[in-house]
Amino acid sequence: MSTRPRTPGPNTPAPGKLPITELAELKARRQPIVMVTAYDAPSGRLADEAGVDLILVGDSAAMTVLGHDSTVPASMEEMIVLTRAVTRGSHRPLVVADMPFGSFQVSDADAVANAIRFVKEAGADAVKLEGAGPSLSRVTAIVGAGIPVMGHIGLTPQSATALGGFKAQGRTADHARRLVDDARALEAAGCFSLVLEAVPVPVADEITRRLTIPTIGIGAGAVTDGQVLVWHDLLGLYDGRSPRFVKRYADLATTIRDAVAAYADDVREGHFPEEVHTYGMSDEERDAFRAAVGHGQLEHRREHRERGHDHARQE
């Protein structure tokens, strides 16, 4: 019998990878699940080292990384590149790729094809898509292809315009009831977890209690099974206005700005680089190099030019 290790497939966790089934067990034990967004290999590595359970390569990258005013412009090609970078940097957390606007809305076939790209080309462990209603058949199709799906309801940024802007959802009894129905439908369609964004605490509580799959809140209070924040928000890197549910754990924008300004000052004032930052040669090799390039002739020509400049200034 061969002793060669089996290559992990879409449903086979890599060694050390958090099993997706562990999330339901965390919910059952009432142990909060930690998710954060990341967009490159260094942030993926740091999130891994910090001990998070899930990393979402969010289409929020369109705003935080690519400079757009909304998440809508994010493309599949951009999201593939970002997801591939994160999976290179992280090992234990499950990496969830956000399916960008236009990648799943057209048809089940398109949704499956793009989800497969995230797994095959970028190494994602799962994908996330927004909404219920028409998205339910997309979830069923993608799960049927063997790819885990995370749902997302409440404030769904890709359709923020239709929702009346970036504001809380489910604040009326009728709308709240529809969110509960959507959550149950997404679970029935096969989602392994569900993001609840910007919904009132009573609604998030009701959904969390009714579902057997974990809920991940962002602006949904402490009643959900886990929490997610955007990397640039929690680290103080994002220059735009942050939502009220954001807690800033650092002010790295100031730290980075001060560091770059100090570097610029050192360069302009001749304080960098110092000798410790440079590479030298042995005297023998230096002399041989100078001889090889005609160093003496170069010095003679330089002195001749300088004498010519002095003569011109005197005239």
13 — alpha (psi -120 to 50), left (phi > 0) or beta?
beta
How many other CB atoms sit within 10 Å of the CB of residue 124? 28
Residues tagged active-site: 197
Are 70 and 62 in contact, with CB atoms under 8 Å apart? yes
Which residues on neighbouring strands pair with residue 36, listed in sequence order? 55, 229
CA 265/CA 89 separation, integer angstroms:
33
CA–CA distance from 251 to each of 48, 51, 61, 182, 238 (Å)? 21, 21, 19, 37, 10
CA 129/CA 152 separation, integer angstroms:
6
H or E segment to which residue 33 belongs: strand 33-37
Q: 152 φ, ψ to 5°?
A: -160, 115
Q: Spell out where 106-203 has E strands.
A: 126-128, 149-154, 193-197
CA-wise closest residue to 229 among 3, 32, 88, 69: 32
